Structure 1
Amino acid sequence: MDTDGSKLLSAGQRFWEAFRACLEENRVSPDRSAYYVGWVKDFVRFLPGKGLRDRSMEDIEGFLASMRKRRGISEWQVKQAERALTILYEVFLPGYAPRTEEMEENEREQATKNVPSRKGVLRDQPVPGEVERQYAALLDTLRTEIRARHYSIRTETAYVDWVRRFVAFHCYADPTGLDATATVKEYLDFLAVEREVAASTQNQALNALVFFYTHALRKPFGEMETFVRAKRPRRLPEVMTRDEVQALFGQMEGVMVLMAGLMYGGGLRLMECVRLRVMDIDFARCRIMVRDGKGQKDRVTMLSERFAGPLRDHLARVKVVYEEDRGKGVPGVYMWPAMARKYPRAASEWKWQYVFPAKSLSVDPRSGLVRRHHINESLVQKAVKEAAARAGLTRRISCHTLRHSFATHLLEARYDIRTVQELLGHADVSTTMIYTHVLNRPGLSVISPADF
């Protein structure tokens, strides 16, 4: 790639390009997005010594007021600038939404009172930024321990959020001075009794707090038997018939039907599909390599011949976007830290690119780099849900239903359950056995006495 500085975008240019793409994804027409970018640039110049992430609501109000005093500025332009700043903080830079000084002062005052709850707010709902203000070092240690074990960004986000809630529940008392066993049990009881959370949610909270005390605070619990894990209900999976699957596909198009086809055709989980890299697709052998799946396990599954052709065409279009990014100097895709250190150029190689990249650039939450990530999984979930509604399917249909249907249809076709287990990536065949309960074939079904 030509590294001539005149052909590479600076970090600042990439930021504005990514923001413009974000605007257009949020229904700002391309012919107007430049004006929105211009208003935000004016806002940057309005307070040159203050970063975008450090600005308050008063700064925004002051900027809009100054616009109204300018000659030639109409009220519709002020409204346009206001919307540009709303998209900037609520969509492009989530987590940095400006707050008024009065809001922060009132919330801090409430947080420092020795009361179990604030009016209208759950006891474990933290004041925004308060835990970070008091215990930033502890949260940083927690993140370091999580990353040292190569846990995903989702696990990191979930564990940090549970610690925030736990600290808020105990009125922001220093966790190092609390009786770990008693306070954790009290919080878990609160989750079960007052918040009435699902068993899986309560167990996740327990896992997060055990990790926090054991690895971040170096205060491991004595006997884990002290905590009673909530029993998760054993539910039968929702499974579509083959006709229902085809009806669902008939209501989808483009990238969405391709992703749905890969999930159904290979038994992929949603995030396994979203995170596929170009090198994971083997067209010659019609198979897909699933890397770092659930439980950090790799496995091989099949690539449906029906979707192999559309996938080739899709990758050809993705490569055009990839070459444009390389020409603009956009940083490569996310790589696992150890891999990035060992192969520093791999992130920019074609084989490592995501099969389903996002339409716009985004800010990496860990490194802060503006790069092209994979497609947002919520878009796929929404597309499947809406397609199911249009197809008139009355049962609950989700992306995971496609995986359930894959397994059930293979068993209906009399494939060996061990083979299905390997394709699904189940560690224990007993997990796969649940699909035998939804089959309707001789030996596994009973005729109703009403039909005798």
Structure 2
Amino acid sequence: MPKSAFLESVRVEIRTKHYSIKTEKTYLYWIKQFILYNDKRHPNKMSNAEIERFLNYIAAERKVSASTQNLALCSIIFMYRHVIKQEIKNLKYDFAKQPKRLPTVLSPPEVFEVLKCMTGKYHLITALLYGGGFRLSEVLSLRIKDIDLINRSIFIFNGKGRKDRYTLLPESLIPMLKQQIESARLIHERDLNEGFGSTSLPPALHRKYKSSLHTFTWQYLFPSTTRCKHPYDGYICRHHIHDTAYSKQLRSAVIASKITKRVTAHTFRHSFATQLLRSGSDIRTVQELLGHSDIKTTELYTHVIGSKRAGTPSPIDTLKFL
């Protein structure tokens, strides 16, 4: 579908509200799909009936998951509310109810087996996921300045829900972190020598910290292999590695480890929380480390270990793989 003035107005509204580039792409995708499904009619000429028909179509014909249905609905509601300035009321379609499932977790030996099948930066990313309870996006977004080797902590900027927090820096990962920092330094120095060296920043931070673009401490801990054009501000920069690059490495490692469970990057975050509770950590501490707003979310892991039981050593420090 070619670019249109209307879709560009949606993009502007998304960026005005400082949504992530990932959210922007997702919202635009579902809005395009909605318009295409309804024969390219302008959304201001459509209403509840067209929305309901589209949502039923993606559920029944495309067989998308409940979470994807909800995402499509959120995208459409955003468009009507913020771009067309129209509230959608009395919609005969509510958010799809997602099944409540206990998360898949790996035991320490299983984590060890996966780690044995990974090398280099991908090994370190996995170790951080399990050792600090990160989300994958949080690990990949780490900058050099976020790593505090002295106080043994890692700062997570603008995590889910736009919340900042600190989490554990596992003692056993310090040598690998130092090695990765030096690797990032070499890449940055090469960029500077070639007349580049800018890191990518969100537009708001770009305006505020423009002078810091070329400083090493603002560079990503896991820089991408190539430079790119910033999607908002147009300057040439180096972003972090893409999540799909990590996912491919993880998939290969899980196959090689012969573990039959379904393992994703988020599995290590689940395993981190479960292991902390098993080892007697206070549930409030685990909640803080994970960045949960509601302790009920954290309490889910007490069901995984079959107990209400909740020194917080990182679970990765018990693994002797170094």
Query: In 2, distance between residues paired with 1:355 and 1:337?
Result: 20
Q: 2:71 aligned to 179, 200, 204, which one?
A: 204
Q: Does 1:189 align with 2:56?
A: yes
Q: 1:292 aligned to 158, 172, 180, which one?
A: 158
Higher helix share: 1
TM (norm. structure 2) is 0.92
- Tell me the matched-pair count: 310
Query: In 2, distance between residues paired with 1:413 and 1:399?
Result: 22
Query: In 1, distance between residues paired with 2:211 and 2:183?
Result: 23
Q: Does 1:278 align with 2:144?
A: yes
Q: C-alpha displacement at 1:366, in angstroms?
A: 2.9
Partner of 1:177: 45
Q: 2:20 aligned to 152, 157, 164, which one?
A: 152
Partner letter of residue 121 of structure 2?
V
Query: In 2, distance between residues paired with 1:194 and 1:351?
Result: 49
Q: How does 1:108-147 map to 2 (within 5 A)?
A: 128-129=1-2, 132=3, 136-147=4-15
Q: How does 1:291-440 map to 2 (within 5 A)?
A: 291-439=157-305
Partner of 2:317: none
Partner letter of residue 192 of structure 1?
A
- Residues 443/293 of structure 1: CA separation in 2 closer, same or farther (3 Å cut): closer
Partner letter of residue 172 of structure 1?
K
Partner of 2:120: 254
Partner letter of residue 35 of structure 2?
V
Q: C-alpha displacement at 1:405, in angstroms?
A: 0.5
Q: 2:86 aligned to 205, 214, 219, which one?
A: 219
Partner letter of residue 222 of structure 1?
K
Q: C-alpha displacement at 1:443, in angstroms?
A: 7.5
Q: C-alpha displacement at 1:220, in angstroms?
A: 2.0
Query: In 2, distance between residues paired with 1:307 and 1:200?
Result: 35
- 2:71 is paired with a residue whose SS is helix
Q: C-alpha displacement at 1:264, in angstroms?
A: 0.5
- 1:298 is paired with a residue whose SS is strand
Partner of 1:162: 30
Q: C-alpha displacement at 1:292, in angstroms?
A: 0.8
Partner letter of residue 34 of structure 2?
F
User: CA offsets, 1:257-316, max 9 Å, x none?
Assistant: 111111100000001000101111111111111111111111110011111111011101
Query: In 2, distance between residues paired with 1:282 and 1:443?
Result: 31
Decide whether the 8 Å contact of 1:263 with 1:402 is kept in 2.
yes
Partner letter of residue 138 of structure 2?
E
CA RMSD of aligned residues (A): 1.6
Query: In 2, distance between residues paired with 1:291 and 1:285?
Result: 17
Partner letter of residue 322 of structure 1?
H
Q: How does 1:258-269 map to 2 (within 5 A)?
A: 258-269=124-135
Q: Which has the higher contact order (CA 8 A, sep 6+)?
A: 2
Decide whether the 8 Å contact of 1:331 with 1:369 is kept in 2.
no
Q: C-alpha displacement at 1:219, in angstroms?
A: 1.6
Q: C-alpha displacement at 1:218, in angstroms?
A: 1.4
Q: C-alpha displacement at 1:177, in angstroms?
A: 1.6
Q: C-alpha displacement at 1:423, in angstroms?
A: 0.5
Q: How does 1:50-89 map to 2 (within 5 A)?
A: none
Q: C-alpha displacement at 1:222, in angstroms?
A: 3.1
Decide whether the 8 Å contact of 2:227 with 2:236 is kept in 1.
yes
Query: In 2, distance between residues paired with 1:289 and 1:254?
Result: 22
Q: C-alpha displacement at 1:226, in angstroms?
A: 4.3
Query: In 1, distance between residues paired with 2:122 and 2:216?
Result: 22
- 1:288 is paired with a residue whose SS is strand
Query: In 2, distance between residues paired with 1:338 and 1:369?
Result: 15
- 1:299 is paired with a residue whose SS is strand
Partner letter of residue 243 of structure 2?
E
Query: In 1, distance between residues paired with 2:257 and 2:8?
Result: 48
| Structure 1 residue ranges, 4+ long, deviating more than 4 angstroms after superposition | 440-444
Query: In 2, distance between residues paired with 1:293 and 1:442?
Result: 27
Decide whether the 8 Å contact of 1:191 with 1:202 is kept in 2.
yes
User: CA offsets, 1:62-87, max 9 Å, x none?
Assistant: xxxxxxxxxxxxxxxxxxxxxxxxxx
- 2:292 is paired with a residue whose SS is coil
Query: In 1, distance between residues paired with 2:197 and 2:115?
Result: 35
Q: C-alpha displacement at 1:440, in angstroms?
A: 5.1
Q: C-alpha displacement at 1:331, in angstroms?
A: 5.0
Query: In 2, distance between residues paired with 1:200 and 1:325?
Result: 41
% identical equivalent positions: 38
Q: C-alpha displacement at 1:442, in angstroms?
A: 9.1
Structure 2 unmatched ranges of 5 or more: 311-322
